[in-house]
Amino acid sequence: MLLKELISLPVYANAKVVAGRAGMTNSVQSVNIMDAPDIIHYLKPQELLLTTGYAMKDHPEALLALVANMAEVGCAGLAIKTKRFFQEVPADVLQRAEELQFPIIELSLEQSLGDLANYSLSQILEKRTDELHYALSTHKQFSQMIMQGKSTQHVVDALAGLIASPVLLLNQQAEPLFRSGSMPEKLYSSALPLLQLELAARQPAPAAYTLQLVPQEAAGAVYTAAELQPIVTYQLEGFLIALTNDNDSGRQLAILSKHALEQAANVIGLELMKKQAVKERSRRYKNEFFSDFVDGLIASEQELMHRSRNYGLLHHPVYISVVARRDTSFGHPHDSGALEDADGRYISERDRHYNLLKSEFAKLELKFVLFTKNDYFCFLIALKSNQDVAKGKDSHFLEQLKGIVFTLSHTHGIPVSIGFGNPVSQLTDIPVSYKEAVEALQTGYDARKTQFVQPYRAKNITSLLRMIPKEELREYYKETFKDLLSIEGKERLDLLKTLSTFYDTHCQLAETAKLLFVHRNTVTYRLDKCERLTGRDLRDPVESLRFRAAFQMEPLIQAE
């Protein structure tokens, strides 16, 4: 109870507030009786102390210290029976209580302290019981609305009617979701920016609290405060907010109204958890299907067509795979244990990334399916027949993806990189495009880049040769050129340069001589010598391929 409510009970009929009247709105949770000298060590916050002052009758300065200590602890007030050991409360004690806004109440001699304590506790417990009954009944009322198929909007309207205050529901980004019909447009337009600024300044979101507002007038009422009740599942989902006109002598909402607000927030939170569970099950089913699809585990084309129909993937002229991933330490995946974080922070963050990526890709105005696989956010996009997916610097599609990376980084603080594969015309070829997208993304990470968009580029022969151990490359190179490598100095360089140019000009003698600035006979002489030293026919297709491959290995070997 509030202290002023407690003192208004009949048992306190002859009591008188002699100091600290400003603190009469203090909450009283319990009542205690004590006359021991060390009384302060046994008191708790929001406790009213009843005393005769016997322990301090010969030491008035101890009463002054008690008042200061009780105010510091957060006690509700001090009720002292005068005309027994104290004829009146000392003036310095009253002055100190006024400074601390700590209530001091003079009790009459008519009632014993035991009767006062018993009656007070009885009233407090009775009031608490009424509050609990009210909380249960309002929770039941809101729960029945949800079970009957009513929407969140119906719950918001019912809450507004129950507490006679306009109600607003915001999501975790402080964006409006629902508002009660009792909230006029003018009040909504003026109060919403103030609430959004307040929530932005209070990160992370606190528990329920009261926010003082610049007075907002609407429909003949003035609203000066807002009660904010967070809605929490495994993460913060939003805020349920009720505006009030502060018409209860400093109380922002009656206790029962706060209970109603809390219960409505609980019911809305449970409904969100139910919807989230349904969404997660659907998403898991989709992830499993598309993961099997891109891994080539769906062998039946009929099954593929049937299940793809549910995601709108049929009958599109062109498809392309795009893979996005949050940048970490150059492509190293998260510790899988993070997925089991007890407070759900990693799961919550991943879900936020999922929703933001989905929102940004929706701006492309293309049909797509989003699923997750390992640490990747995977998009299968149905392109338009005339869609520009060229990989040059002027590609419109490439620029759109770069715009998404920029927005996620600078607006939402999420460093993301993207890889995409080649477009394909058949649904069954999507796994190929997906593997290209993953490879393109990893290529960017291998180059130690971040916040990039990397198209897939087919491997050239040098890329393939890099996969072969250097020792085997060196052995192949020496075997190919044999005794040619034993020649020292300028002659060896001339022979190798001539042979290389000969193959670069597709075995044209005249063109080779022209590029080397030598006579045609010189080229013929050098090529004949190469044949003798290597023991190979230079114009044989098999040998030609061998020589070309060896020349490609040369810079890889020399790089050691």
Q: What tens-digit pLDDT sequence spans the chain (560 residues)?
A: 788 888 888 888 888 899 998 899 888 889 988 877 777 788 889 999 998 888 777 777 888 888 999 999 999 999 988 777 777 888 888 999 999 999 999 988 888 888 888 988 898 888 888 888 888 889 998 999 888 888 899 999 999 988 888 999 998 888 899 999 888 888 888 888 888 888 887 766 667 887 777 777 776 778 888 888 888 887 788 899 998 875 544 344 567 788 889 899 999 988 888 888 888 888 898 899 999 999 988 877 788 888 788 888 777 888 999 999 999 854 444 443 333 343 444 456 788 899 899 999 999 888 899 999 989 999 999 887 655 555 544 478 899 999 999 999 999 889 999 999 988 888 888 999 999 999 999 989 988 889 999 998 876 677 677 778 888 988 999 999 888 888 888 999 999 999 999 999 989 999 999 999 999 999 999 999 999 999 889 999 999 999 999 998 888 887 55
| Terminal CA-CA length for the chain | 83
Domain boundaries, the chain: 3-123, 151-274, 295-458, 464-558
**Environment class of 68 (CB within 10 Å of its CB; exposed 0-12, middle 13-18, buried 19+):** middle
Give the separation between CA 249 and CA 174, rounded to whole angstroms: 30
Tell me which fold the domain 151-274 belongs to: Beta-Lactamase (3.30.450)
Could you identify the residue written with the tokens 């291998």? 446
Q: In degrees rounded to 5, what are phi and psi of residue 49?
A: -100, 125
Let me know if domain 464-558 sits in CATH 1.20.1540.10: no
Mapping DSSP to helix (H, G, I), strand (E, B) and coil, where does residue 51 land?
strand
pLDDT score of 559:
56
**Would you state the pLDDT for residue 386?**
59
As a whole number of angstroms, the distance between CA 78 and CA 70 comes to 8
- Check if 151-274 and 295-458 are the same fold: no
pTM: 0.54
Question: Hey, which bits of 254-341 come out as E strands?
Answer: 318-326
Does the CA dihedral 227-146-158-197 come out positive or negative? positive
> What pLDDT, on the 0 to 100 scale, is given for residue 340?
39
pLDDT of residue 203: 66
Structure tokens belonging to residue 510: 């005249």
DSSP states along 482-534 = GGGGG--HHHHHHHHHHHHHHHHTTS-HHHHHHHHTS-HHHHHHHHHHHHHHH
234: left (phi over 0), alpha (psi -120 to 50) or beta: alpha
Q: Which CATH architecture has domain 295-458?
A: 2-Layer Sandwich (3.30)
Provide CB contacts within 8 A for 215, sequence distance 6+: 222, 223, 224
Which superfamily does 3-123 belong to?
A: HprK N-terminal domain-like (3.40.1390.20)
Burial label for 502, CB within 10 Å (0-12, 13-18, 19+), is: buried
Query: Cis before residue 204, ω within 30 degrees of 0?
Result: yes
